Amino acid sequence: MNKLSRRSFIPTLAAMGASVALPGVAHAQPGAWPHRAIRLVAPQGPGSGSDVIARLLSDRLAPVLGQAVVVENNPAANGLVALGTLAKAPADGYMLVLTGVSQMAFNPALYKSLPYDPAKDFTYIAPIANTPFVLVTSLKSGIKTFKQFLEAAKAKNGELTFGSAGIGNSTHIAMELIASNAGVKLLHVPYKGSGAALTAVLSGEVDAMVSVVGTALPQVQAGKVNAVAVLGDTRVPQWPTLPTVREAGLDVPPMPGWYSIVAPAGLDRQIVATLNKAIATVMAEPAVKAKLAELSLPPMSGGDAEMRQRAATDLAYWGTFIRKNGIVVE
């Protein structure tokens, strides 16, 4: 991960370093699950959103479960390798993945073949958090409002540029959503990661991008990029005066950016219940709530059934959108 993104996330980890035993979940008894370390795989690189969340959870889950929770990064192929490996792993609760909407709802439509089936190959454990997105523009572009963005897009007719973290990434799909619903053409410039794309906006190399709020916030506060609109149902606490895209005049659905923990299909229901209770205990901790708020990652409620339904709903909607707009990863 490049220096820009690491600055946005890594300082928040130090405050989470101390691990204390939490009430509400019993420690594992001899012979019961878990009796050895648990692997928690983040399908993104170090310093990314999923990496930070995974490490925050692992620090707190370890004392609750009575075993180490070891975070591994496997960002290869937009999560295909991590989820493909999980789909073939033993259903024993010792390998988990902190997956996201990209792997479960976007990838099936983006790739011609997939090494996993989001509906059949996994046990959904619990939702974790959602990621709001914001449309930002370069100072060089002169675009300060969503209305000005649409006007510039129409005037340039396919020459207004936007960066993304790569083809098929949420930062790409979100901008395609805006372009499709507004009836405008934009020029996509994919980068290797959201940090590189945001750096391109900072320098004026591209005119705009859709970024997760937590990454863009420091740059907006420093006056280095313009925040134009939020791609969600509600405004974000950090920018109470910044409108949503819908409030700014374009009727679009909120862009999903959720994270969820999944395990191989067929995981014992008692293990699912133990994990779900442990995660709920950790998510209720004031320190965890504070860190998620600092990172603009609102926690999600519900259990495994609700998360499975959410993934299926997003797969149906966004899979259709991606295919309709001809977005593919070669």
Per-residue pLDDT, 31: 55
Per-residue pLDDT, 101: 92
pTM beyond 0.85, yes or no: no
Question: Could you tell me which of 123, 153, 125 has the C-alpha nearest to residue 141?
Answer: 153
- Taking the CA atoms of 159, 162, 163 and 164 in sequence, report the sign of the dihedral they define: negative
Per-residue pLDDT, 163: 96
Beta carbons of 195 and 106 less than 8 angstroms apart: no
Beta carbons of 86 and 267 less than 8 angstroms apart: no
Q: Do domains 3-130+257-324 and 133-230 have the same CATH topology?
A: yes
Q: Please report the DSSP string for 65-82 in residue order.
A: HTS-EEEEE--GGGGHHH
CB atoms within 10 A of CB 139: 15
| Domains of the chain by residue range | 3-130+257-324, 133-230
Per-residue pLDDT, 165: 85
Tell me which CATH code domain 133-230 carries.
Answer: 3.40.190.10
Collect all residues with Cβ–Cβ distance below 8 Å to 236 and sequence separation of at least 6: 132, 134, 213, 230, 242, 296
Q: Give the tens place of pLDDT for each residue, 26-55.
A: 444 445 899 999 999 998 877 777 888 999
Q: Give the tens place of pLDDT for each residue, 175-195.
A: 999 999 999 999 999 988 788
Tell me which CATH code domain 3-130+257-324 carries.
Answer: 3.40.190.150
Give the residues of the chain that fall short of pLDDT 50: 1-30
Strand partners, 122: 264
Element spanning 229, H or E: strand 225-230
